[in-house]
């Protein structure tokens, strides 16, 4: 059984590739470029005992023609690739176009291949109820959708891409039908095994590097990357996952709580992690000249909550302890030389 993982070199995708290989699947991964030899070598070594060596091919969400060869003879596709930059781009279309049109191109190639049974799409809790326009009085479920106009460019790109995927499979004639299952992760943290930075690592990096002498009153619904990877693989084969969305979240954590956990573990190793909440007026002043703080200001003090019943009952995932998730993420960043 051949599985295609798109964007195989990313933070989450490397864990999916590794777990698939550990379970004995044959895995093909896509990357935008095969030129970076060191990166490719690292990917090939994710699971040293793998029965089948990882196959890597080039494909780009902005090049629809690149997907046909990538999906050839594949039974399952796990479509993870999507732009996830640390900062909002000048033009929203820089994110929305590859996310939406890229997803459509992947699905189109899957139908044409005739071998694909199911596609698992990595969406986000942002497509469900996360961000300034979301109702903080409720616990969101898989029934909920964010209105794209209430979201920033990234949230919009994820919501519109997921919608486009559901619409695409719904419209397929019977003879072309493929199954779709969607994974909607919260803020993904945990060990980094691709040796590079991603948006997910930003909070831990900033805390360990003491980028600011304070923490902001921010709350994150967190989940471990290993649980997210396992969820994709379960959603790939379980009958009950087809045609469904799955919120993948452990619990809500304040930035101050994260900082306290990291401070306890790393203080003796020379990391001076800030643990005090920033007073409101100072945060507001800082936001005037700091783009990242400005971006998070609408989320200050807000708690976005998600129901993880399907994750536990249907996908049978028992999430890692948040403390382990955070500490192992920090150690992996330090070991990879990604912390100053
Ligand atoms: P990464 O930035 O590590 O991964 C993003 C991946 O998308 C990379 O492999 C990147 O490829 C690929 N990609 C971006 N643009 C293109 C393109 N034009 N063509 C082909 N590939 C492209 O982030 P994550 O692993 O965290 O994110 C993976 C997925 O999970 C994304 O869909 C993201 O939206 C989603 N997600 C992430 C969450 C999180 O907290 N991390 C939460 C919820 C959802 P390359 O390596 O070549 O740059």
Q: With a 6 A CB cut-off, is 153 part of the ligand 1 pocket?
A: no
Determine the residue of 81, 83, 222 to mutate for testing ligand 1's pocket, defined as the one with the most ligand atoms within 8 A of the Cβ atom. Answer: 81
User: Which is the closest atom of ligand 1 to the Cα of 123?
Assistant: 44
Return the axis-axis angle of helices 153-171 and 93-113, rounded to nearest 10°: 20
Given the CA of residue 196, which atom of ligand 1 is nearest to it? Answer: 3
Going from the C-alpha of 311 to that of each of 130, 137, 295, the distances in angstroms are 18, 22, 30
With CA atoms as reference, report the closest residue to 318 among 308, 305, 329.
308
What ipTM, to 2 d.p.? 0.99
Task: Give 252's contacts (C-beta < 8 A, 6+ positions apart).
Answer: 219, 220, 221, 222, 303, 304, 305
So what's the pLDDT on residue 35?
97
Number of Cβ within a 10 Å radius of residue 306: 25
Tell me, what's the pLDDT at 14? 98
Q: What is the pLDDT along the chain (340 residues), one digit of tens a residue?
A: 999 999 999 999 999 999 999 999 999 999 999 999 999 999 999 999 999 999 999 999 999 999 999 999 999 999 999 999 988 888 999 999 999 999 999 999 999 999 999 999 999 999 999 988 899 999 999 999 999 888 889 999 999 999 999 999 999 999 999 999 999 999 999 999 999 999 999 999 999 999 999 999 999 999 999 999 999 999 999 999 999 999 999 999 999 999 999 999 999 999 999 999 998 889 889 888 888 888 888 899 999 999 999 999 999 999 999 999 999 999 999 999 999 9
Distance 80 CA to ligand 1 centre (A): 6
| CB of 43 closer than 6 angstroms to any ligand 1 atom | no
Tell me how far the alpha carbon of residue 302 lies from the centroid of ligand 1, in angstroms: 25
- d(C-alpha 87, C-alpha 28), whole Å: 30
Which of 6, 7, 57, 89 has most ligand 1 atoms within 8 Å of CB, for mutation? 7
Please check whether residue 130 is in contact with residue 155, taking contact to mean a CB–CB distance below 8 angstroms. Answer: yes
What is the second-level CATH architecture of the domain 2-335? 3-Layer(aba) Sandwich (3.40)
* Pair 186, 142: CB distance under 8 Å: no
Is the separation of the CB atoms in 224 and 250 below 8 Å? Answer: yes
| Catalytic residue list | 158
């Amino acid at each position: 059984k051949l599985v295609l993982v798109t964007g195989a070199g990313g933070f989450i995708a490397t864990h999916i590739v590794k777990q698939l290989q550990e379970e004995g699947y044959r895995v093909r991964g896509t990357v935008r470029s095969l030129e970076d030899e060191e990166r490719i070598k690292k990917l090939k070594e994710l699971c040293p005992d793998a029965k089948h060596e990882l196959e890597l091919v080039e494909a780009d969400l902005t090049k629809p023609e690149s997907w046909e060869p990538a999906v050839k003879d594949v039974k399952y596709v796990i479509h993870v690739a999507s732009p996830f930059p640390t900062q909002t781009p000048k033009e929203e279309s820089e994110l929305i176009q590859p996310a939406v049109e890229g997803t459509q191109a992947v699905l189109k190639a899957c139908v044409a291949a005739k071998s694909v049974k199911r596609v698992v799409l990595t969406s986000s809790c942002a497509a469900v109820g996360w961000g300034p326009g979301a109702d903080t009085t409720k616990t969101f479920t898989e029934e909920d959708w964010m209105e794209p106009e209430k979201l920033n460019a990234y949230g919009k790109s994820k919501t519109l891409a997921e919608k486009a995927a559901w619409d695409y499979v719904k419209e397929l004639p019977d003879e072309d039908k493929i199954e779709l299952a969607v994974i909607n992760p919260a803020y993904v943290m945990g060990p980094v095994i691709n040796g590079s930075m991603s948006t997910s690592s930003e909070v831990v990096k900033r805390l360990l590097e003491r980028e600011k002498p304070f923490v902001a009153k921010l709350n994150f619904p967190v989940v471990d990357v290993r649980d997210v990877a396992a969820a994709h693989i379960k959603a790939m084969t379980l009958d009950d996952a087809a045609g469904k969305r799955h919120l993948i979240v452990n619990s809500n954590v304040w930035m101050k709580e994260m900082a306290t956990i990291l401070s306890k573990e790393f203080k003796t190793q020379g990391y001076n992690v800030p643990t005090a909440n920033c007073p409101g007026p100072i945060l507001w002043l800082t936001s005037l000249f700091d783009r990242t703080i400005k971006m998070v200001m609408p989320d200050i003090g807000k708690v976005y909550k998600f129901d993880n019943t399907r994750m536990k009952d249907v996908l049978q995932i028992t999430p890692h302890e948040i403390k382990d998730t955070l500490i192992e993420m920090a150690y992996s960043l330090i070991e990879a030389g990604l912390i100053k």
